[in-house]
Every structure is written in structure tokens, then in C-alpha cells.
Amino acid sequence: MSAQPARILITGCNGQVGFELRRALAPLGTITAVDVGDCDLGDEAAVRRTVREVAPQIIVNPAAYTAVDRAESEPELVQAINARAPQIFAEEAARTGALMVQYSTDYVFDGSKNGFHTEIDQPNPINAYGRSKLAGERAVAASGAAYLTLRTSWVIGAHGANFAKTILRLAAQRDRLQVVADQWGAPTSAALVADVTAQLLGRYLRTVGATGARGGANAGPSDFPFGLYHLAAGRETNWHELAQTVVGAARAAGRELRLAPEAIAAITTAQYPAAARRGPNSRLDTSALRSTFGLVLPDWRVGIAQVLEQILEAA
């Protein structure tokens, strides 16, 4: 494996993280990037067929059903995409000795904890999206494949739909806005998720090269720290402060907006009815990832500033 570039399969390549992964993982091997038009994750046969045609040595699966509120009315579809598809990918990885990389979410927790959630905290999802992602995590862990599962939070990228783009659209249309201020987390740039993934996979490939192992569930390098890790930007904020940050940065960059940051009113979760329940605490403890892999994760404002610069340049 070390003598040849790794064959890497990336799903959801037109999504926020998938788009960035194509860039970040390109130096590591030969990339096959697929999206829903190439591989429908709701179709089990299509998922297996894609893996067997590509024969990847690393499967990276950021593709997911992420419409949190709509998931409440489509539980079967969200389970198929977020739970069953990762299970199939992982089963195929176990069969061939590939590495499986899966992404998950802070929504596997109910958000009632006062401090930062660690990897050993007991999950307790309170919406359909969170339940589906937890099922996907557990299916990957039970598959017998060598795996890395990265839980992240509040992902925002320059490519694809997200909170920042929604706020900018509304800021151009309205002079008043209400945003929830009692849900706390760390906005994490899609680029950071992709770049950290690249660092982890680079270490994996170097370890494989050093040991001569293929890296599968039974033949993998025993000294590589597989498993579940939390990946999020540093510090914390709430949606209200993030909205003010987005609008302030856009206005400072010369974007003409009707809305001023101070015209964004803070409201509670109870004042903003939604189909899916959301807990107040989405904060993830990233100390295991940082210490295990020697990483420094930047303040959330650094990544979001970079994303906003790209969004505004593209507008």
C-alpha cells in the first residue's frame, strides 16, 4: 500500500465537508468522489456496488441526511442514509481490509450536560436526526472494520447551504431578526473538518507503510489509534452571537445589508418552535483528538472568518 497511492472513496462530494475533502485528501492518493447522482445512499445495492467497483483502501463518508427538522417526518429515509448506508460501507471495509471514516454529530447527545461532552458520555438523542447518526456510529463500530468516527458540530462551509448563508440572505431582506441565544456550541468550518481528516489519514498511511499491513479490521496496524473522536473548533458561542458575527463581518467587508448586528434580537429555544427538539448544549470536548494526534484546533472565529471571506468573494 505504501508503494502506490491510496485509493480513496469520498461520498457526498458536493456537500459542505465532501467538497473540502476532495481538496484536502488529493495529496494522499487517487480520489473517487461520488454524490447522490452516482450513489444513492438510500439504495443498499447501489452502495455495495459503488464500493466494489472502486475497491477503495479508504472509505470516507461525509454524506448524510442533514435536514434536522424534515427528518422528523421522514424517519425511514433518514435511517437508511445515516445508519444503514454507513453500516454497508463499514461491512465492505471489513470484508476488504479498508479503513472506514465516518462523521457524526453533537446531536447524539440531549444537550443537558453542563460541561463539554466527551467521547465516553452516554448518548441520548432527542430527535430523529440524532438517533439516525447514533445508529450509524454504532453500526460502524460493530462492523469489524478499522474505523475513525469523527463527531463534529455546527458545520459551516463556503460551499453548500448553511446557517451563515441563511443569515446573509435574511439580512439583505429584513431590518429585524430573531435568533436563538440559549443553544451553545462551536461553529466548525468544513475546511477544518477536512484538513484534520487529512492529517489523520496521512498518519494512518505512514503507519501502514511502516508496518507493511493493509490496515483492515484484523490486519490493521495495532499502534494506530482507531476509534471515536470529537472534532470541533475551539471556544464556544451561541447562534445569536454567530448571527451577529456574520452580519458584522459582511457589513465590514462592504456588503450592503438592511440588517445591522444590533437589530438581531436574542430569543430562547422555546420562542422558536421547530419540528425537531434541540438541546441547549452542543459543546464537544476535543482533548482526546488533540492529545492523541498532536493537533491544535483554532478558535471558531478563525475558521468562520475564512468561510465568510470566501462566501462574500463568491457573491
Bridge partners of 180, per DSSP, are 267
- Average pLDDT, whole number, for the chain? 94
pLDDT at res. 314:
85
What would the mean pLDDT of 22-44 be, rounded to a whole number? Answer: 95
The grid cell for 133 is 447518526
What would the mean pLDDT of 185-190 be, rounded to a whole number? Answer: 97
Contact 106, 82 (CB under 8 A): no
Q: What is the set of domains in the chain, with CATH numbers?
A: 6-162+186-235+283-298 (3.40.50.720)
Contact 45, 51 (CB under 8 A): no
The model's confidence at residue 221, banded by pLDDT at 50, 70 and 90, is low
- Catalytic-residue membership of 129: yes
Predicted confidence (pLDDT) at residue 237 exceeds the cutoff of 60:
yes
Query: What does the H/E/C string look like for the chain?
Result: CCCCCEEEEECCCCCHHHHHHHHHHHHHEEEEECCCCCCCCCCHHHHHHHHHHHCCCEEEECCCCCCCCHHHHCHHHHHHHHHHHHHHHHHHHHHHCCEEEEEEEHHHCCCCCCCCECCCCCCCCCCHHHHHHHHHHHHHHHCCCEEEEEEECCEECCCCCCHHHHHHHHHHHCCCEEEECCCEECCEEHHHHHHHHHHHHHHHHHHHHHHCCCCCCCCCCCCCCCEEEECCCECCEEHHHHHHHHHHHHHHCCCCCCCCHHHEEEECHHHCCCCCCCCCECCECCHHHHHHHCCCCCEHHHHHHHHHHHHHHHC
| pTM of the predicted protein model | 0.94
pLDDT at res. 223:
82
Predicted confidence (pLDDT) at residue 254 exceeds the cutoff of 80:
yes
The Cα–Cα gap between 287 and 221 comes to: 23
pLDDT at res. 28:
96
Catalytic option among 129, 147, 204, 229? 129
Kindly report, residue by residue over 166-180, the tens digit of the pLDDT: 999 999 999 999 999
Contact 171, 284 (CB under 8 A): no
